[in-house]
A and B are shown apart, each in its own frame.
Chain A
Amino acid sequence: GQQVMQIPQYQHVQEGEDFTTYCNSSTTLSNIQWYKQRPGGHPVFLIQLVKSGEVKKQKRLTFQFGEAKKNSSLHITATQTTDVGTYFCAGPNSGYALNFGKGTSLLVTP
């Protein structure tokens, strides 16, 4: 079945540094979604990418969907302590459920 892999598993940065997490699928995806989960919290939907090569920005966050629609990335510019959490990518499964990657845990130290 379709698998979504994420790297790195953990990332520790100093506040102000940039951060990138990568997501790779074993199959072509119709769309990809990104979520953020703060420690002790629940996943919060960030964005959905649908088109090949799509790039979307949300303030300091830049999301990209690969041309082949098998990979995606999330880049955070100038991290802040509020960016701490685990970032998940997810691709559609059978029906309309999602297969989540294992996530990248981001730690930002001031």
Chain B
Amino acid sequence: DSGVTQTPKHLITATGQRVTLRCSPRSGDLSVYWYQQSLDQGLQFLIQYYNGEERAKGNILERFSAQQFPDLHSELNLSSLELGDSALYFCASSVVLGDSPKYFGPGTRLTVL
């Protein structure tokens, strides 16, 4: 158990819909990263937040957005879903800004039908 929690574990929805994935970092960790894992693309970095502020952006689509709240939990919002958005979404956390994501959550498996 990494100490990072993610909900829900599984999510099945239809094309065009919007979903929200939630992540709680390890206690004391200020930095949260979101990654998408699909079979063909591997682990792709989406976005990073540190203490409530966006710090880095990766291959995140405009249909996707995220935020980190004052209690440090983070949400990833995916809208206008397409079949290709089906993937595992991982959240990871680290203590300080300069530390890479070491602790990954169990992931949310999103299936878009």
Contact: B97 with A93, CB < 8 Å? no
Asked if B63 lies at the interface with its beta carbon under 8 angstroms from chain A, I say no
Which of A16-24, A43-51, A52-60, A66-74 lies at the interface with chain B?
Answer: A43-51
Also in contact, A42 and B106, with CB within 8 A (given A93-B58, A97-B33, A97-B58): yes
B-side interface mostly: strand
Q: Which residue of A lies closest to B88 (CB)?
A: A42
Contact: A102 with B42, CB < 8 Å? yes
Asked if B98 lies at the interface with its beta carbon under 8 angstroms from chain A, I say yes
Q: In the assembly, what is the distance between CA of A96 and CA of B47, in Å? A: 10
Contact: B42 with A48, CB < 8 Å? no
Contact: A96 with B31, CB < 8 Å? yes
Contact: B104 with A96, CB < 8 Å? no
User: Which residues of A lie under 8 Å from residue B101 when comparing CB positions?
Assistant: 97-98
Contact: A97 with B56, CB < 8 Å? yes
